Structure 1
Amino acid sequence: MRIAHRTTALLLALAAAVGATVTGASAEPGDGKDVPDVAVIGTGGTISGVSTNRVSFQDYRSGQLAISKMVDELRPEVDGLADVTTEQFGNKGSSAYTIADYRRLTASVDAALKKNDAVVVTTGTDTMEEFAYWLDLTVRSDKPVVLTGSMRPWTVIGTDAPANLYNAIKLAASRKTTCYGTVVMLNDQIQAAREVRKTNALRLDTFDSGPTGELGVVDQDNIRLHRAPARVQKCGKSSWNTPFDLDGIAAAADGPLPKVEIAYSYQDAGGEAVTAFANAGADGIVTAGTGAGGISPAMSAARTEAVKKGVLFASTTRTGSGAVYGSSATTGVIGAEDLSPQKARLLLLLSLAATEDEKQVREWFSTLGTAQFVTR
């Protein structure tokens, strides 16, 4: 029986990794049969922007077009892929959203997934990587969640906006990323929420996953997946979910989640930022350190004092790649390995919302935060 159980689990993981549908029956888009139900949730950003003129690639007002109008402009093409419905969650730049907004967005995505086979969320690209990782950590369904946006507004020549939205719906409708968690789809590339980051302020190919590489690509009619996030190994198991069930976290439904800030280190950096964050009531602080997490002597001294006050730290690197490995002997400081500072902040925030046990937070950073494939 144990062998059979392990075989079943392995088959589920492999099925997810190669893009087979794990939950629900699959229909080929455009084959005349039932098509999947896909909800598109709009939050604004450049993708919904209106330009000053047809060549004002950078001069535009974001968050102007309703998501329903954008989807309607892609019909009848998307109608051959899915039965698409829309929801206007908000319509502003991604940087304008708060953690309280994030919490409500998770609830909206969870609700949409109860009625649909997949969800697409449109956002601004400035903090899209944070939108994606938050949803990856908090959405309870293993159905596909695809984030997309654009680097150019909807109304300029050569815009990437309609193509990105169409491809995101196509990817979601395929259900090939079942059990992948949240993924990002821009510029024909599929990226994992944990690794993806914005690397350029203006270029269309701004999103990159560093040494781990993209998950795959959308090439017109072909969706090619080259790899999968490690969590697909838990596909079909209750352990696939993260421990961050926002409905179960003790804070009141509309109450604030823990306050976590980021302090950046540099040559001769002072400790004032760390001290100010601690005095302002920060529950956790992420340091974006030099090299493998190094911080200045003044910052280090301020961190030591903050730890005495109960502030928990996560140590990251400002370099953009590589890892910071912490020591369990260093009380109050956790190595975040290769998580970016902004993503380590989200993991630390949710961890502190779920527990006050530093040992448990360390375990989540070393397992959930740095998930790896397990071989036997």
Structure 2
Amino acid sequence: MTQRLGKLAAKKMMFFILALSLAAASVSTIAVRGLVNAAEGVELPSFDIPALSAEHQSSPLPNVIVVATGGTLAGAARNGDKTNFQSYSAGTYPMADLIAQLPVHKSADVSSYQFGNKGSGGYTIKDLYDLSLAVDAALEIYDSAVVTTGTDTMEEIAYFLDLTVRSEKPVVVTGAMRPWDVIGTDGPANLYQAIKVAGSNKTKWFGTVVMLNDVIYAAREVTKTNSHRNDTFDAPMFGALGYVDDPAVRIYRAPARALKAGKADWASPFDLKTISKDSLPIVEIAYNYQAAGGGAIRGFVEDGAKGIVTAGTGAGGISSAMSTARTNAIRDQGVVFVSTTRTGSGSIYGGSGNTIAGDNLNAQHARMLLLLSLAFTNDVPTMRGWFSTFGTQDVEISVDENTVLSASVEEPAIEGPAELPSPEPTPVSGEIEPSPSAEPTASPETSGPAAAPETSEPTASEPAAVEPVTAP
């Protein structure tokens, strides 16, 4: 009898332990999925990257692969008019044919992979997910890569690659402002020079760079500034990294991440192999202007946006109507906002709750960083940390393991409890929504009795103005 009771007790104990184990595993899974939208067994795309030829294997020159997506560089003038610079069909010629028309490259052995062939604006975020993985796959074989794209959204494509490509090898994005087959086209020279930059290995550990018109820029800093001119690309606050001339590639400064070469924190937090492309969220940009309404924000939220970047006036200011719409979007749907400026340059500071300061990222760059942040976590303080570290790219020099020299002074973080609802949007309790920013001399705007007053965005010497928001 005693023995039977002992066996029964042992069975009960085993069931109890098993139940505890299953419960612990469930809690662990829920916790992980709450922070990272990665699914087990992610189905990754495959790419038919060409193998190195026997000739290239025996050559002393570096191997450069051109990953082509189309754009103006591969464009053909309409009706065969070689003087028609603005009317053409983007993404017409295959890259292999374009490379064959170049002089044999003096400084690299060149191969190509045709990822796609259309204008840059025709690619979806899911396409960019595939493109990034294709570039990494190519860099497992080749010494460096050139990615050709259209110039319309080149800065966004380049920054997406900068944030997601895992390889430290050089990635150089280039394109053209004039189609390949018109007189005075910049396409052949840009392609040839980009291959030279990639083959030089001088941008290893730089992340992705952009090279057009013989000027090299960091992907994070570059923007298109003119609709037609060949020298359209610029980095307003920072300038060029270097230049490429006939005899040489010259690098005169390095992006901050290059100082972390060989270290674990060189790579971004955004390893696309750990998430499905279906987990990439909708993130939009709302542009502020005189007496701007809140309809854009409300419409974006209704369409399912999980994040919105505001391109504000001055130091990131938005109108009272936009501010009210932002407050409601945070309170009701847990939407995350990033503040940037529409001025073209300048830094944004402060932010609390579900509003994050975009530093000196322009709106289109900030959108890419927010989109990836939302794909990898639901925790807003974690996103804020990514924006203030990997997104901000302050210069730090490690003298030794005990000494780090920083070129910037950190301002105190203004935090409020903020976590996105998962998996379905629900009202968030305890959110703190910052007041919208405005120029110091501006009078508060109103858009009716229900409009929220405008106040200043927090600065280093002025605490953030916040209003507690509770769940309905």
Q: Does 1:98 align with 2:121?
A: no
Q: CA deviation at 1:336?
A: 0.2
Q: Any stretches of 5+ residues in structure 1 without a counterpart? A: 1-31
Give 1:146's aligned residue: 172
Structure 1 contact 150–160 (Cα < 8 Å) conserved: yes
Contact 2:237 2:346 in 1 (8 A): no
Corresponding residue of 1:274: 297
2:378 is the alignment partner of 1:350:
no
Confirm or deny: 8 A CA contact 2:68 2:115 kept in the other structure.
yes
Q: 1:247 to 1:33 in 2, by over 3 A?
A: closer
Residue 88 of structure 2 corresponds to which residue in structure 1? 60
Q: How much does 1:322 deviate?
A: 0.6
Q: Deviation per CA, 1:160-193, whole angstroms, max 9, x where unpaired? A: 0000000000110111100000000100000100
Which residue number in structure 2 is paired with residue 362 of structure 1?
A: 384
Which of residues 265, 271, 295 is equivalent to 2:288? 265
One-letter code aligned to 2:369:
L
Q: What is the aligned counterpart of 2:325 among 299, 302, 315? A: 302
1:209 aligns with 2:232: no
CA distance in 1 between counterparts of 2:310 and 2:173 reads 28
- 3-state SS of paired residue (1:211): coil
Q: Report if aligned partners of 1:326, 1:336 keep a CA contact under 8 Å in 2.
A: no
Q: Give the Å deviation of 1:323.
A: 1.1
Unaligned segments of structure 2, at least 5 residues: 1-57, 398-404, 406-472
Partner Cα separation in structure 2 for residue 293 and residue 190 of structure 1? 29
* Partner Cα distance (2:198, 2:229) in 1: 25
How is 1:149-168 mapped onto 2 (pairs within 5 angstroms)? 149-168=175-194
Answer with 1 or 2: which has the greater Rg.
Answer: 2
The one-letter code of the counterpart of 2:344 is G
Distance (Å, rounded) in 1 between the aligned partners of 2:264 and 2:324: 42
Secondary structure, in 3 states, of the residue corresponding to 2:374?
Answer: helix
Q: Which amino acid aligns with 1:229?
A: P
Q: Per-residue CA shift, 1:345-373, capped at 9, x if unaligned?
A: 00001001111111000000001111011
Residue aligning to 1:116: 142
CA deviation string 1:43-85 (max 9, x = no partner): 0000001113111011111110000001111142x1x322211
Shift of 1:33: 5.6
The answer to which structure, 1 or 2, has the higher relative contact order (CA under 8 A, 6+ apart) is 1
Conserved 8 A contact 1:145-1:182: yes
Structure 1: distance between partners of 2:115 and 2:334 = 36
SS at match of 1:262: strand
**CA deviation vs aligned residue, 1:19-52 (integer Å, no higher than 9, x gap):** xxxxxxxxxxxxx961111110110000001113
Asked if 1 retains the 8 angstrom alpha-carbon contact of 2:341 and 2:362, the reply is yes
SS of equivalent residue, structure 1 residue 324: coil
Encode CA deviations 1:204-240: one digit per residue, 9 max, x unaligned.
0000011211000001111111100000111011211
Map of 2:363 onto structure 1: 341
Distance, in Å, in 2 between the alignment partners of 1:229 and 1:166 is 24
SS at match of 2:366: helix
Q: Aligned partners of 1:133 and 1:280: how far apart in 2?
A: 25
Moved over 4 A (4+): none
> What is the alpha-carbon distance in structure 2 between the residues aligned to residue 211 and residue 272 of structure 1?
32
| 1:363 partner letter | G
Query: Which secondary structure does the structure 1 equivalent of 2:278 belong to?
Result: coil
Contact 2:243 2:251 in 1 (8 A): yes
CA distance in 2, matches of 1:115, 1:269: 51
Q: Secondary structure at the match of 1:247?
A: helix
Tell me which residue corresponds to 1:316.
340
Q: 2:248 matched to 1:225?
A: no
By how many angstroms is 1:326 displaced? 2.0
Give the Cα–Cα distance (whole angstroms) in 1 for the partners of residues 251 and 170 of structure 2. 14
Secondary structure of 1:293's counterpart equals coil
TM-score normalized with structure 2 length: 0.71
| Aligned AA (2:304) | G
Indicate if the aligned counterparts of 2:170 and 2:206 stay in contact, CA closer than 8 A: yes
Any idea what SS the aligned residue of 1:179 has?
A: coil
Alignment partners' CA distance in 1, 2:72 and 2:126: 22
The answer (yes or no) to whether the contact 1:216–1:225 under 8 Å persists in 2 is yes
C-alpha separation between the residues in 1 aligned to 2:232 and 2:88?
19
Alpha carbons 2:279, 2:375 under 8 Å: kept: no
Answering whether residue 188 of structure 2 is matched by residue 174 of structure 1, we say no
CA–CA distance in structure 1, aligned partners of residues 221 and 258 of structure 2: 15
1:49 and 1:86 mapped to 2: Cα distance?
17
TM-score, structure 1 length as denominator? 0.88
Structure 2 partner of 1:373: 395
In 2, Cα distance between equivalents of 1:157 and 1:272: 46
Give the deviation of 1:374 after TM superposition: 1.1
What amino acid is aligned across from residue 70 of structure 1 in structure 2?
L
Give the letter aligned to residue 328 of structure 2: E
Q: 1:256 Cα shift?
A: 4.1
The 3-state SS of whatever aligns with 1:89 is strand
Matched-pair contact (CA < 8 Å) for 1:143–1:178: yes
**How far apart are the structure 1 equivalents of 2:346 and 2:357?**
12
Give the Cα separation in 2 of the matches to 1:310 and 1:211: 33
Residue 106 of structure 1, CA deviation: 0.5
| Deviation string, structure 1 residues 121-154 (Cα, Å, up to 9, x no partner) | 0000000000110000000000000000000011
SS in 2 for 1:217: strand
Overall identity of the aligned pairs, in %: 57
User: Quick one: which amino acid aligns to residue 35 of structure 1?
Assistant: L
Partner in structure 2 of residue 25 of structure 1 = none
Task: Read off the aligned partner of 1:290 and give its amino acid letter.
Answer: T
RMSD: 1.1
